[in-house]
Structure 1
Amino acid sequence: MVLPDSPRWLIAHGYKDEGAQVIAMLEDRDSTDHPDVIRVLNEIQASLEQESAGGPFRYRELFEGGPIGNFRRICLCIGVNVMQQFTGANMINYLAPVVYQNTMGLSRDLSLILGGCTAITYMVASFIPLWTVDRFGRRPLLMTSAAGLSVCFIVAAALLSTGTRPAAFGATAMVFLFQIFLGIGYLPIPWLYPAEISTTKIRARGSAISSFFNWMCVFAVVEMTPPAIANISWRVFIIFAIFNACWIPLVYAFFPETKGLELEEIDHIFDKGGITGGVWESKGGRTVEKRRDVGIDADINAEGGSDIREDTEKF
């Protein structure tokens, strides 16, 4: 009722003037004739023409390689959601009382109380990304989160191996800290990243496929955890600690940074090619430069100042 339509949707459906007005609002410009508005408008139009050049969407496009790298994008969509579930998050969130009672030897009543407190911590931690995701980026938060989750489970396993009651309370503290590290990265980003890494043409399918794998992994983890706890008790923490440690190099090598990129720039995020799509050799995993930043640099370096319209045409 109060929000305008997406400028891309408006332009794609023939409402160019309305799309330009929305762009002007987003760019905080007074006129649709401003060079910044024209630049974004032209980029959107060029992107839409590229996406529609091959005709209607066909599912075999999801397996395409090349510079656009649709198959690579789908693998990243699936991968980040599989990784989320094999952090051990839902071992805690679904089965916290079982974990407290059967791995730490706490009473049933105390385990239920701690399970409720664990859920509250999870809820509070879910607000952290509001201030961190766009400030620090996706990759740093995923790697920091994975490192923290791994350390929490390693410490918990080490404490529980002693078999003492004080150690059990120390392990409980590690579970609470685990929830905070989960909120930093692996709680929100797997729901954001598939939509960000996909091109517009495959975005809906990428998000749907990644969600399917997420919930299948939820089912697998929740089914496997009770018998695992019954058979190996606290050692189940070691398994998930190893998984979390593995996610750090995987994110570093294969997941490009999407923070601050525009939709049109996402199309070119794998232009460098190679096994890692250019992620490994790119500083901070940023495989594509922001066009606006490059344009500003060109404008500053030009003698006497260049016209912004010329810069827009160049890009």
Structure 2
Amino acid sequence: MYTVGNIYVITAVAVIGGGLFGFDIASMSAIISTEPYLCYFNQIQGDDVNKCYGPKPDVQGGITAAMPGGSWLGALISGYLSDKLGRKRSIQVGAIIWCIGSIIVCASQNIAMLAVGRIINGFSVGICSAQVPVYLSEIAPPSKRGRMVGCQQWAITWGIMIMFYISYGTASIKGTAAFRIPWGLQMVPAILLFVFLLFLPESPRWLARQDRWEEARNVLVLVHAKGDVDSPFVALELAEIKATVDFERQNADVTYMELLKPGMINRTHVGIFMQIWSQLTGMNVMMYYISYVFTMANVGSAVLLSSSIQYIINVVMTIPALIWVDRWGRRPTLLVGAALMATWMFANAGLVATYSRAPRPGEFDNAAESFSISGKPATALIACTYLFVASYAPTWGPVSWIYPPELYPLRVRGKAVALATSSNWAFNFALAYFVPPAFANITWKVYILFGVFCTVMFIHVFFMFPETASKTLEEIENIFDDSTPGALRLIGTPAWKTRVNRDIHHTESGNVDPDKLATLNAYHAEDKTAGLSDEAPKV
């Protein structure tokens, strides 16, 4: 039925959906300072009639923000789409939409057409960015779940770097081909994503919820047991999935309002703030407008090349998280990342406040380029910017995608992750629109603002974000159960008391607790209300 069962191959294909987001970021950040773009979409009449100044700062903010604006809507809708069509097919729908948006962007005749195309592209990114983590979290073994879902972030970094260098290579082309070529090439990964997904299995948990039990078992055997139909771990996992489905069938069809009920409100707030804080670190702002920062640091004609170094850092520094995030745990990774990012943001604020000056008339082309810094302070500013990226890449970058799908029960996971991801895009939209006028009006205080955000998120994670690493998705349910001894009302187990499950490797190797499996099977044998004895295979 399925030709691919290797979890690494499945992940490599699925995270192409994340790569689309990276392609979009770089296709804008690398192009907005090039002459063909500035001249074709020019709105500003400067002193030099032979020079193009490009769109106005607020209009450029709107062009950039069009993509996350569309992503916000796409993420919200993806929950319904995923529950109806399945995780895999919803990602394929996103790939088709991306191609449509890319055609419009590539053919843009004016700013309005460009913005519409980016909204459509964003709609696709919203679907894929919400449902790729759900798909991978539901199909990956618990001990590798963080690594697999974290590859979403790694794919984003690769997409950024690849598209940046494509755009850098075409920047010297005369005329509109300089930006139309990279915008057209954006379609290639989406086409590959759609085709390769045809050969991948569907999420076993989604299949189980559709009463397609034999298919669900086949996927678990294929992906988690290398074809061993007698695997004790598959038997335990299927039994736990049955217990979850059994309970959920006693509830009505889920709506977004269920996420606000007492038993769900805490994890809803954690998932939403996970995505909000990932934006308020300031990382995506760095990616979108890094060329402004390096222009103000007076690196001259090497702006694009200097900017590209951070993309390489982003790719390389994501690798440690992919290898060790399941061993480190989610909480320590987030806490260390927040502390380091706050340090570099405050350092940048201090450097610019102390050593920068207002630009001279005609020194820079854009009002958002509102200060000038040179010499050793400029070198330190660039170094702190690189260090910020190196701190984000192995921490908040991958964990922001890993964490939300782990928090929710099966019946609400699609919609809950969609809601959390939509908050990411809402803040992405706001920040993309806010940063150019912010640099123009409050200059170095922008760094102070993001430094404060990083400090607050450190405190929030310590008190409210529980550890979920190396636990089955069904086991994580117990963390939020506020009826257990020592639990807090509406919260469950205090976050600072949760730990990484170090025994999951033994369980996946077949060392299953026979009493636990027997208890689950006895429960299913006795239960007559959910109809599982008729629908689900025996384990």
**Do both share a fold (TM > 0.5)?**
yes
Q: How many equivalent residue pairs?
A: 298
Alignment of 1:309 onto 2:514: yes
| Match runs of 1:34-49 below 5 Å | 35-49=232-246
| Match runs of 1:121-160 below 5 Å | 121-160=313-352
Could you tell me how far apart the structure 1 residues matched to 2:244 and 2:498 are?
Answer: 26
Could you tell me which residue of structure 2 aligns to residue 109 of structure 1? 301
Q: Which moved more, 1:79-88 or 1:11-20?
A: 11-20
Cα gap change, 1:280 to 1:204, in 2 (>3 Å): closer
Cα gap change, 1:187 to 1:293, in 2 (>3 Å): closer
Structure 1 position 209, deviation (Å) = 1.4
Could you tell me how far apart the structure 2 residues matched to 1:293 and 1:128 are?
Answer: 20
Cα gap change, 1:13 to 1:239, in 2 (>3 Å): closer
Structure 1 position 308, deviation (Å) = 5.0
Could you tell me how far apart the structure 2 residues matched to 1:108 and 1:144 are?
Answer: 34
SS of residue paired to 1:187: helix
Counterpart residue identity of residue 2, structure 1: V
Structure 1 position 95, deviation (Å) = 0.6
Mind listing any 5+ residue stretches in structure 2 that lack a counterpart?
Answer: 6-200, 356-373, 482-486, 521-539
Could you tell me which residue of structure 1 aligns to residue 494 of structure 2? 279
Q: Is the 8 A contact 1:154 1:237 kept in 2?
A: yes
Structure 1 position 238, deviation (Å) = 1.6
Could you tell me how far apart the structure 1 residues matched to 2:435 and 2:513 are?
Answer: 59
Deviations 1:138-191 (A, max 9, x none): 111111111111111122222333316201101110101111111011212222
SS of residue paired to 1:202: helix
Could you tell me how far apart the structure 2 residues matched to 1:87 and 1:208 are?
Answer: 21
Question: Share of identical aligned residues, percent?
Answer: 29
Q: Is the 8 A contact 1:254 1:277 kept in 2?
A: no
Deviations 1:31-85 (A, max 9, x none): 645654433332221111111111322332121113xxx2222222211111011
Mind listing any 5+ residue stretches in structure 1 that lack a counterpart?
Answer: 300-306
Q: CA RMSD in A?
A: 3.0
Cα gap change, 1:232 to 1:30, in 2 (>3 Å): closer
Cα gap change, 1:212 to 1:243, in 2 (>3 Å): same
| Match runs of 1:44-83 below 5 Å | 44-66=241-263, 70-83=264-277
| Match runs of 1:236-251 below 5 Å | 236-251=446-461
Cα gap change, 1:268 to 1:108, in 2 (>3 Å): same
Q: Is the 8 A contact 2:470 2:504 kept in 1?
A: no
Q: Is the 8 A contact 1:96 1:118 kept in 2?
A: no
Q: Which moved more, 1:54-63 or 1:74-83?
A: 54-63
Could you tell me how far apart the structure 1 residues matched to 2:391 and 2:244 are?
Answer: 37
Could you tell me which residue of structure 2 aligns to residue 213 of structure 1? 423
Cα gap change, 1:200 to 1:172, in 2 (>3 Å): same
Counterpart residue identity of residue 476, structure 2: I
Alignment of 1:253 onto 2:448: no
SS of residue paired to 2:478: coil
Q: Is the 8 A contact 2:256 2:416 kept in 1?
A: no
Could you tell me how far apart the structure 2 residues matched to 1:291 and 1:107 are?
Answer: 51
Cα gap change, 1:88 to 1:25, in 2 (>3 Å): same
Could you tell me which residue of structure 1 aligns to residue 281 of structure 2? 87
Q: Is the 8 A contact 2:205 2:410 kept in 1?
A: no
Counterpart residue identity of residue 125, structure 1: M
Counterpart residue identity of residue 168, structure 1: A
Q: Is the 8 A contact 2:321 2:398 kept in 1?
A: yes
Task: Find 1:2's aligned residue among 4, 20, 28.
Answer: 4
Could you tell me how far apart the structure 1 residues matched to 2:438 and 2:240 are?
Answer: 53
Could you tell me how far apart the structure 2 residues matched to 1:82 and 1:10 are?
Answer: 31
Could you tell me how far apart the structure 2 residues matched to 1:282 and 1:57 are?
Answer: 31
SS of residue paired to 2:319: coil
Q: Is the 8 A contact 1:128 1:183 kept in 2?
A: no
Cα gap change, 1:35 to 1:124, in 2 (>3 Å): closer
Cα gap change, 1:93 to 1:313, in 2 (>3 Å): same
Structure 1 position 242, deviation (Å) = 1.3
Structure 1 position 22, deviation (Å) = 4.4
Structure 1 position 239, deviation (Å) = 1.5
Cα gap change, 1:230 to 1:5, in 2 (>3 Å): closer
Counterpart residue identity of residue 200, structure 1: L
Could you tell me how far apart the structure 1 residues matched to 2:305 and 2:256 are?
Answer: 48
Counterpart residue identity of residue 279, structure 1: P
Structure 1 position 21, deviation (Å) = 4.8
TM-score normalised by the chain length of structure 1: 0.82
Q: Is the 8 A contact 1:126 1:188 kept in 2?
A: yes
Alignment of 1:267 onto 2:477: yes
SS of residue paired to 2:439: helix
Q: Is the 8 A contact 2:265 2:490 kept in 1?
A: no
Alignment of 1:99 onto 2:300: no
Could you tell me how far apart the structure 1 residues matched to 2:445 and 2:458 are?
Answer: 21
Structure 1 position 27, deviation (Å) = 5.5
SS of residue paired to 1:214: helix
Cα gap change, 1:168 to 1:2, in 2 (>3 Å): same
Could you tell me how far apart the structure 2 residues matched to 1:294 and 1:268 are?
Answer: 20
TM-score normalised by the chain length of structure 2: 0.50
Structure 1 position 194, deviation (Å) = 1.5
Cα gap change, 1:44 to 1:233, in 2 (>3 Å): same
Q: Which moved more, 1:138-147 or 1:116-125?
A: 116-125
SS of residue paired to 1:188: helix
Cα gap change, 1:228 to 1:58, in 2 (>3 Å): closer
Could you tell me which residue of structure 2 aligns to residue 165 of structure 1? 375
Q: Is the 8 A contact 1:73 1:198 kept in 2?
A: yes
Counterpart residue identity of residue 263, structure 1: L
